[in-house]
Amino acid sequence: MSTSEISLPHRRATQPATLAWQHALPPQGWQLPILLLLALLITLLVFQQVRSVALAVGPADQRIVVNAYEPEPDLDGNGFVRWTTAATRLDLPLVAAHTPLIASVTVINSYPDGVPDPTLRITAGTTSVRSSVPREAGQPRTYSLLVAPSDQWGQWSQWSWAMPITLESSTYQPGGEDTRALGVMLHSASLRSTASLFVLPPLWQLTAIALIAAAAYLALRGVGLGYWLAWGGGLLVVALITGGLRWNFLDIAPYTMRVAGMLGLVALYGLGVHLLSVVLPATRTAPMLGPPSRGAWAHIPVSLSALVLMMGLAYWLMPFYQVLQTADGARNLSPYPPTLLVTLAVVLIGGLGVTVLWDARQATPRPLEADHRWVRWVLGVLAVAAVVHLGVMLEFAFRRSGPDFWILFRGAREWVRGGSLYNLEAVLTNHFGHVFKVPPFYGMLFVPFVQQEGLTILFYHRVLNTLLLAGSAALVFWGFGVRLASVLGVGVLLLFNMRPIADTVAYGQIDIMLLFLLLLALISLRRGWGMVAGFAVALATLFKLYPAVLLALFVVRREWRAVVGFGLGMLLCNGLALAVIGWEQHRIYIFEVVPRIGGGTAWVENQTLNGFVARLLADSIVSEKFNHPLLSIITYGGFGLALAGTLWLVWQSARPRLGSPLAVTDPRFALHFSLFVILMVLFVPAAWMHYQTITLVPMLAILLFAGREGLHRWQAALFGGAYALIAFGNHWSFYDIAMLDILSLLGTSYKFYGVVLLTLVVLSCLLRRYPSHAVGPAAATDG
C-alpha cells in the first residue's frame, strides 16, 4: 500500500519516521506556575472589591432561586417578586471564606384580608429565625441572620460555592383556577461579609480560577501555540472571568466551576490534538505547507487520519459536558440515554482495542508511527458509532411532531379548499411563528396529498428525507471518488452524523433536499455539467430563497452554462407552479410576503450573526422579530462585506495571472463554493439550527483539501472543534430556557461559534501562500 493511503481494515500501512522536532513538547518551564500565581492574586484582588452580593428577584434568577413560582411584577411595577412554596431555597454565591456572613431576605405578605398571616422560618447555615410576617399594607419586611463560618462537609461549608438560605412557610391556596400553594412574596436577598479589612476568597472560586487558568494554557499549548501566546491567552481568559466576577458577580460566580470543567475538556482535546499530530504526521510534508521550523508547533502538518480522529475526539467529548452540567445542577440537560450509551461504547471499545493492540505491539516492538493497527481500529469504531448514532437520532426524529411539516401541509390544504396559501396577518405580526411563507412552488408539492391523512403523509415525508440523505451520501462517495473503506470515507461518515440533519427530519423541513441539490451542483461543476448545476441551484432557490446567492459564483467565474441552467430551471419550475397554483398566489408571495419576512430574531435557534448580537441586545429570548439600529448595521453591513470578500476571492482565482484560472477540480474551488454556502447560514438575518445541514458541504471541502494539500495542526484543531459544535446536539442540548445570565446567553450561540471556526479554516486554506515550487498535488494525505 502506498504512503498516500490508509485503508480499513485489512491493509498494512507505512509511515516515515517522525521528525525529531515533532516528538514531544519541551518542558513547560515556569509559564504555568507563574500563570497560576497571577490568577490567584487577581482573584484575591477582585474579592477585596466584591464583599457583598444582592439578588433582585427576576427572570434571570433561576440558578439562585430554587423551588419557587414564576416571577410576577411587583406592586409598583418597577421590579419582580416570586411567590415562595412551602420550602423555597436561595443559593447565594459566597463572597468570603472563614468570615462571618450576614444573610438578609426581604419578603412581602400579600395575603388577602381574612387570611391569617404566614409563618416563616429562615435558615442560613446553622442559624435560623422564625417569625410571623405581618401584612403591613404590602410593604417589604427584611430579616437578617449572622452566619458563622463552617469547615464541615455537608449542605454548606467553606468548600461550597453558595450559602443555601431556606424559606419554610405556611401556605394558602387562592382558590378557583389558581391551585398554587402560596407562601410569601420573595422580593430580594443579599449576603455580605463582616470583614473590614482583608477578605479571603471562597475556596471554591480560588480552585475554579486556578483550574480555568491551567486548562486554558494547556488547551492552547496543545493546539500548537507557543509558550508566550498560550500564557497570554490563559491570562486573558482569567482576566475575563475575574472581570465578570467583579462587575457581574451573580451571573458569573455560580458557573465558574462549570467553565473550568468545559475548559478541562478543551484541554483534553488539545492534548489529543498534540499526540495525534506527533504520532500521525503527514506522510511527507506538502510542498505548500513547507518544512516547519523548530518550535513551530502550530504549523506541524497533520495527516488525514489524525484530522479524522480529531473530529471523533471532539464530537464524543460533547456528551461529557452535558454530564458535567447536570452534575453542576443544570436541569433537563443530561445526555439522551442512547447517545450516552454510544459515547460510552466508543470510549470503552476504542480504548480496549488500543490497549490490546498496544500490548501485542510489545512482542514485536516497532515505532508507534509505523504501527497503524490502532489507527484502523479507532477509525473503524468511529465509523460504526457514526452510523449507529445517526440511526439513533433518526429513530428519535420519526417520533417528533413535525411542526414545520404541518405549516406547509395546512397551507396547501387551505388553498385546495378555496383559501390562500398565505395568512398575511400572521406573516406581518410574527413570521417566525407557525406561518406559511415559502414560495408557491414548494407549497404546490403538497397539493396532491392534502386530502389524505396528515400523519401518513408526514411519515412518508420523513422516509423521503431519509432516502435523500442516503442519496446525498452516495453522491459524495461517487462524485468525489471516495472509497468507503478509507480514512476519507470514515471522515465522510462522521460528517453525516449530524444533529441538524436529524432535526430536519424531525421538523419536516427541506434542508436535506438543499444539501442534495448543493452537492449535485458542486459535483456537476467539477464534471463540466454546467446546465445541471444551474438547474439544481434554481430548484434549491424555489425551496428557500438564499441559494440564489450562488448565481454570483456562476457569473464571476463565467460559468455561463450554469447561468443558463439556472434561468431555465426557474422558468420551468415557476411555469409549472403558475399552471397549478395560479398567478394570484405568486403575486401575494412576491409583493406582500417577501417584503415582510426580512429581519432577524433573538430566538435561540437563530444561529446567525444577527441572532448572536440580538441575544446580547434583547430583553428576552423569544421567537419574535427583533429590531435594533445597531443590529441592522451589523447584519446587513456584515452580509455586504462577506459577500464582497467572497466575490473578490473567487474573482482572484478565476482571472489568469501567472497561469490558467483555478480549475473546478482543484480542492480550492470547492472551498470557494463553500464560502457561498456559509453566507447562507451565517450572514443572513435568520437561519435556524437545522439550516446548518448544508454546512456538510464546506466541511467536506476541507476534508478534500486536507487529503490533497494538507492542514497545519492549528487548522486541524479548529476544524475538529467546528465539526463537533455544528454536528452535536441542538438548542435543547445545553440550554435551559429559564437561564438568562450572560454566560448562558453566550452559550446559546455555540453553533454560531462552530460556523465561525469553520469559516476561519476555509479562509485560512484559501489565503495560504503557495511557494513557486509547489507543483502538482501534495502527498500530505493518507486517505
- Using CA atoms, how far residue 286 sits from 487, 708, 710, 775, in Å, is 18, 9, 6, 10
Tens of pLDDT, residues 730-775: 988 888 766 667 888 888 999 999 999 999 999 999 987 654 434 3
Q: Tens of pLDDT along 482-535?
A: 999 999 999 999 999 999 999 999 999 999 999 999 999 999 999 999 999 999
581 neighbors 448 (Cβ within 8 angstroms) = no
- 235/35 Cα distance (integer angstroms): 7
Spatial distance between the Cα atoms of 246 and 240, rounded to a whole number of angstroms: 10
User: Tens digit of pLDDT for each residue in 359-407?
Assistant: 665 555 555 545 577 888 899 999 999 999 999 999 999 999 999 999 9
- CB burial class (10 A; 0-12, 13-18, 19+) of residue 508? buried
Share of the chain above pLDDT 70, in %: 87
Give the per-residue pLDDT at 656.
Answer: 63
Phi, psi (5° rounding) for residue 363?
-70, -35
CB count within 10 Å of CB 337 equals 9
The CA distance from 487 to 473, in Å, is: 15
Note the pLDDT of residue 301.
83
Question: How confident is residue 629, by pLDDT bands cut at 50, 70 and 90?
Answer: very high
> Does the reported pTM lie above 0.75?
yes
Q: How much is the pLDDT for 181?
A: 92
> Where along the chain do its domains lie?
20-38+201-280, 52-193
Q: Which residues are within 8 A (CB) of 315 and not within 5 positions of it... i.e. 6 or more apart?
A: 494, 497, 723, 724, 727, 728
For domain 52-193, the question of CATH label 3.40.30.10 is answered with: no
